[in-house]
Amino acid sequence: MSAKRPVVLITGGSRGIGAALARLASSRGYDVAINYRSERDAAERIAETCRAGGASAVICRGDVALEADVLRVFDEAEAALGPLSHVVNNAGITGRSGRLDKADDATLRACIEVNVLGALWVAREAARRLSRSRGGLGGSIVNVSSVASRLGGAGEYVWYAATKGAIDSLTIGLSQELAGEGVRVNAVSPGITQTDIHERSTGDAARMERLKPRIPLQRIAQPEEIAEAILFLMSDAASYITGANLPVSGGR
């Protein structure tokens, strides 16, 4: 009888980095639960790609900004695939780009609700499900932060940078709380990455090309490059790494 495949839940898994991670993880021996908020067709296409490669994959609708949705997503993922071994806290938004003094209340609240409260709810539930003292398998949590947390996002989205600073702190503190539970907690901090978040969320389709000269490697990251870093932190190759935050930013 073959060994059971590890199971990873990816929030915000229907597009961008999350979708790239689902495809790669499924090809590297993981079964995959893909969380999405509204784009069911996109999530199902990613799941079908995963299944075509031999993995089990399920899609789980839910808005991470709603606690009840987060709990339901975890329940559905485990009901379909069995106990989780990994959780990737990836869902996030930026809001439309601009200066903080021109940002409206709705933008600030939405970013905090998704990027901070949502990430905390996902991390809390992951801790409850993975911790060995609670009957979990152990495993790992990877939080998706951003180099914006140390660059500041001036003139673009200071509020987004601030929410990612919260993710950095979450990673450090939770890694210490769960170290004795068989659960490692790390983060990746992507730089500018070739996804549609720039046009869809910021309204600034030209942003990537405008900022490319600031990147020492002089190119934009592909989502698969961020996914590879996440997979490394999930893997046994990173078994002695916890509380770390890996920049994947081309030197920026």
Residue owning tokens 């689902």: 22
User: pLDDT tens digits for 32-76?
Assistant: 999 999 999 999 999 999 999 999 999 999 999 999 999 999 999
User: pLDDT tens digits for 229-239?
Assistant: 999 999 999 99
pLDDT reported for residue 158? 97
Distance CA 240, CA 144 (A): 19
Distance CA 132, CA 238 (A): 19
Catalytic residue list contains 160? yes
User: What is the number of residues in the chain?
Assistant: 252
7-248 maps to CATH 3.40.50.720: yes
pLDDT reported for residue 196? 73
Place 3 in a pLDDT band, splitting at 50, 70 and 90. Answer: confident
pLDDT reported for residue 104? 96
List the strands of the sheet with 86-89, edge to edge.
57-61, 31-36, 7-10, 86-89, 139-144, 183-190, 245-248
- The pTM assigned to this predicted structure is 0.94
Q: 30, 36, 157, 160: which is the annotated catalytic residue? A: 160
Which tokens belong to 78?
Answer: 């485990």
| Mean pLDDT in residue range 174-195 | 96
Which tokens belong to 139?
Answer: 């495993």
Distance CA 186, CA 175 (A): 7
